[in-house]
Each structure stands twice: as C-alpha cells, then as structure tokens.
Amino acid sequence: MHEFEALPFSDVSAFSWVVDGWNERVEQALSVTMSRFPNPEDINEGRSTCPSKRILDAFDDRFCRKREHGPIVAEAIGLPTIRRRCPGFHEWVEGLEALAAVLPTSE
C-alpha cells in the first residue's frame, strides 16, 4: 500500500512534464487505472499490477528511471494534492509532523 509510485496517480496529467512519450493514449491508460480505485494507494493487486508496472505499461516501458521521474512528477502535483488523494500517506505525514512538534530543537 505504501508504494511511492502510487503517489503520482494523484494527478496523472503531471506525467506530461517529465516523461517522453506522453500522449493521449498514455493519459487515458493512467486515467482508466486511477478510475478503478478509490484512491492511488489502492492501486496494487500484485507484482504485475503494482503502480510502477502500470506506469511502465502505459508508457511502453519508457518510464524506467523511477528515482529521476517519480520525484519530479510528485513535485509537479504538489504535496497538498497528494495528501488529499492519498489518505494513508496523509496520515503518515501527519504523524511525522506531530513527532517534529514534540522533538526538542537543536538550539
């Protein structure tokens, strides 16, 4: 459930900024995938259908630099949208924020 590649499904149009091969067919494939699930975190029915495999399939295996493209797509989407669309991720970030609020500062 906590697969980073699910987060870009928060707004599939953001893939257009960084990935060669973006076109209407790719957008449709990613949008159809997202429409089948209540939220991006639920896109994971197994090894062959996990978010990264679905992205690779949509782009005909051209989205192969996950460490390069993933963060750029996530940045283009923005944390507020990702948190709104991904409740588990939102809860995790809230936990980090709460922890940061109670930790002593290094002053």
More confident residue, 30 or 107: 30
Q: Is the pLDDT of residue 1 over 70?
A: no
Q: What is the pTM of this model?
A: 0.84
More confident residue, 45 or 36: 36
pLDDT the model gives residue 31: 96
Contact 63/54 with Cβ under 8 angstroms? no
- Residue given tokens 């699930």 in the structure block: 37
Region 67-79 average pLDDT: 88
Residue-range domain boundaries for the chain: 4-101
Percent of the chain with pLDDT over 90: 50
63-91 exposure pattern, b = at least 16 Cβ within 10 A, e = fewer: beeeeebbebbbebbeeeebbebbeebbe
Mean pLDDT taken over the chain: 87
